[in-house]
Amino acid sequence: MEIYTLTGPSGTGKSYRAMDICKQYDIDGVIDDGLFIYKGMVTAGESAKRCETKIGAVKAAIFNDEKKAKKVSQAIRAKRPRSILVLGTSDEMADLIIERLGIKRHRNRKLKQEPVIHRIHIEDITTEEERKEAEKQRKAHGKHVIPAPAMELKRSFAGYFLDTLGLFKGRAHATNERTVVRPTYSYYGDYLLSEKVISDICNITAEDDPAINSVILVTQEPSPEDYIINIALKINAGCSLWDDVMNFQKKVTDAVENMTAFNVTEVNIEVRGIENDKYAHIL
């Protein structure tokens, strides 16, 4: 595995530049602020931007929790990225993350020496004006960037997501998409919510679940710190009410979090009926 690091002071645009570096050096894995992002998808970890304090965010970013670090390390081993980019405020911080995640051990066993770490500093790839603008967005507006797409979330989103930045280049319209967020510890002001996106995810998840007949209603209770989803539905006759509904509850939680990196704290299910045939209404 090739190992790259991108380092520089906080708020200088590292996360924004990460996708450009990944494209330039064909890097398919990124470690940034507590997340392992593989091929544009949030694969493991918990974002430091969910933390309520800056101290908590720093601890999450350097994987201070051994159990969480182990889970991310296992995910890296499972995905086996060809190369990985580690973001940090300094070379020392990046090295600490590499050590805690055991990234150097994830190498070809035929190699008799540890992989070389390719160092990239934000000062080498940006101008002073660009870094000042990035710092302005961070300090004045509380905006941060995650180097991963927001998937279906193309509009402003409550609490965690604010907007997406898509860069389209060439005839093929290949996209390197980044997501602008406002972390919990710097949240302020009003927000807009496209509730239909979450409702669509719930409905699609239900369509793929043989125990669920139909979704009647989806309501949502967003806040800066978390997200609560309430679902009223009908189930199919013959299913295990308790087990299958709990399984669907977990599927919805996983689907929303995997597709958005949003902090879903509750998925409340209300069963309003039992039907004999999931597709009877189509006939």
Looking at the whole model, is its pTM more than 0.85? no
Tallying the residues shown for the chain, one arrives at 283
* Domains of the chain (ranges, CATH numbers): 2-186 (no CATH), 195-282 (3.30.70.1350)
Contact predicate 179/150, CB 8 Å: yes
Give the pLDDT of residue 164. 44
| CA neighbor of 45 nearest in space, from 196, 146, 157, 174 | 146
Give the other-Cβ count within 10 Å of 29's Cβ. 26
DSSP letters, 60-78, are HHTT-SHHHHHHHHHHHHH
Instruction: Measure the CA–CA gap between 60 and 47, rounded to whole angstroms.
Output: 7
Assess contact for 100 and 61: CB atoms under 8 A: no
Percentages of the chain per state (helix, strand, coil), in multiples of 5? 40, 30, 35
Between CA 166 and CA 151 the distance in angstroms is 11
**Alpha-carbon gap, residue 57 to 89, rounded angstroms:** 13
Beta sheet of 264-275, edge-to-edge order: 212-222, 227-236, 264-275
Task: Supply angle C-alpha 265, 101, 87, rounded to 5.
Answer: 80
Q: How confident is the model at residue 217 (pLDDT cuts 50, 70, 90)?
A: very high
The yes-or-no verdict on residue 9 having pLDDT over 60 is yes
For the segment 155-210, what is each residue's pLDDT rounded down to a tens digit? 333 344 444 444 333 333 334 445 444 444 344 444 444 678 889 999 999 999 99
